Amino acid sequence: MKVLIAGGAGFIGSTIASCLLDNGHQPVILDNLVTGRREFCEGRPFYEGDIADTAILDRIFDEHPDVTAVVHCAALIVVPESVERPVHYYRENVAKTLEFVDHLIGKGVTRLLFSSSASIYQPGEDFTVDESSALTALSPYARTKLIVEQMLSDITAATPIKVLSLRYFNPIGSDPKMRTGLQLRSPSHALGKLIEVYREGKPFPVTGVDYPTRDGSGIRDYVHVWDLAGAHLRALEVFDTLPFENGSLAINLGTGTGTTVLEFVEAFNQVADRAVEVGHAPRRPGDSAGAYTRSSRAADLLGWRAEHSVADGIRDSLNWFAQRERILPDLSTR
């Protein structure tokens, strides 16, 4: 099949593209390169532009009329930045998605995978969630994901397009073949920050140690990005058999195991060749205690389960950072 991946030059989108290629499918990449990398698009049809640019969308569908599905990964994702710049986040993540989907419908697209987020959940007392859990987004970033899901649900009820919202937990790792990986100079998530301070020989600041978890640090469900990519592959392959309700469906993508930030640092220190010390820092604006999935829906409907461990994700990330300056030389720290 041929699949348009919006945001396909980013960390997750490029990994999905690699997974599709490895399994005989053809990704077509659309990315404005605000955070994505041109290097991740080598050997793949690539269009540089915005998801709300109707002219470039017309060109893509004129040149690739056999696109049968769309994966929408294009979004801004930094929680503290969303608190500081909410107008920017609502414009980029919500308003432009509306324009994008409207144009997809006009092109006859009926299959859309939306990259959503587990940050929209209100966790239970045990920090577990499933797809029926209460939704309470605690940051502008998370609210953009929730609003888009709600918007798409209204749209699918009235149009032929069907939307599968894949709610990611916390992606780690890299493409195991080291084709792509985390591409941000200053990563905002825990593993990116850990590797950054590890390389600089500094302590790791755990942002928030007063959460009601077993050790006071936030709790996360760390899922390997290659597993995430595999879930998208499976979703595309079985899309037409899924039990959509009024054209929409949500599926959690996580491991089902909760790992606190302090436990994550301990796992990092067991994999790395030298330990990182821990410091304490205040919670960041928009942060929450976190959650992990208790759902079996991905296994039941997609036949998918995460196969990689937290240690695998850490190890692959360290391997990626050891060579990413060769692939992305402008990110050199030397």
The answer for 24, left when phi > 0, alpha when psi is -120 to 50, beta otherwise, is left
Rg of the chain (C-alpha set): 19
Q: Which residues contact 156 (CB under 8 A, 6 or more apart)?
A: 162, 163, 244, 246, 247, 248
End-to-end CA distance of the chain: 42
Task: Give CA–CA dist 57/49, Å, rounded.
Answer: 9
CA–CA separation, 7 and 24 (whole Å): 20
Contacts of 83 (CB under 8 A, 6+ apart): 139, 140, 285, 286
> Residue 141 catalytic?
yes
Residue 142 to residues 120, 166, 198, 300, Cα–Cα distance (Å): 6, 14, 29, 26
Task: Determine the Cα–Cα distance for residues 282 and 292; give it in Å rounded to an integer.
Answer: 22
DSSP letter at 268 equals H
Catalytic residue, chosen from 121, 141, 168, 292, is 141
Question: Which positions are catalytic?
Answer: 141
